[in-house]
Amino acid sequence: MANPVSVKLDNFKRKHSAIYDLTEIVVVVLVAWGVYQGFGFALQTPMPMVSVVSGSMEPTLHVGDLMIISKADYKVGDIAIYLRGRMTIIHRIIEIRPTGYVFKGDNNAAPDPEVVSPDRVLGRVRLAIPLLGYPRLALYAIGI
């Protein structure tokens, strides 16, 4: 027969272990969010890290690449990210017009259908890290 004190001690350890595990998860999430916000502040963009979700920029960028983005003075040839509705698009600037930018995916036959106003451009790709975007894609796939 189990010692009642031992059973209580085991229950106490299990309960506090679960609280500790939950606290650890919350701290990790808060630290990741803080780092993301810090990057955004330092790089002057609300989206400092973005994952490639389509093959429209192949062979330059691939699905699952992680992009580091920052504000810049944009020029023809830059790969930049812009908003189209609620979606973010990562394409190359192929023309600058008085009203905005014309973008095109390297793997697309035609330019994007609209001229993008400067206020919709979030930043220019500064660094592409292969494969590191897959965790973000997984979170995106489940709606986070």
Per residue of the chain (144 residues), give pLDDT as tens. Answer: 556 656 565 666 666 677 777 888 888 888 877 777 776 677 677 777 788 888 999 999 999 898 888 888 999 999 999 999 888 899 999 999 999 999 999 999 999 999 999 999 999 999 898 887 887 778 777 766
Which strands sit side by side in the sheet containing 79-84, from one edge to the other? 49-51, 66-70, 121-129, 79-84, 87-97, 100-104
Q: How far apart are CA 90 and CA 75, in angstroms?
A: 15
pLDDT at position 12:
61
pLDDT at position 3:
61
pLDDT at position 120:
94
Note if the pTM is more than 0.85.
Answer: no
Do 69 and 95 meet the contact criterion of CB atoms below 8 Å apart? no
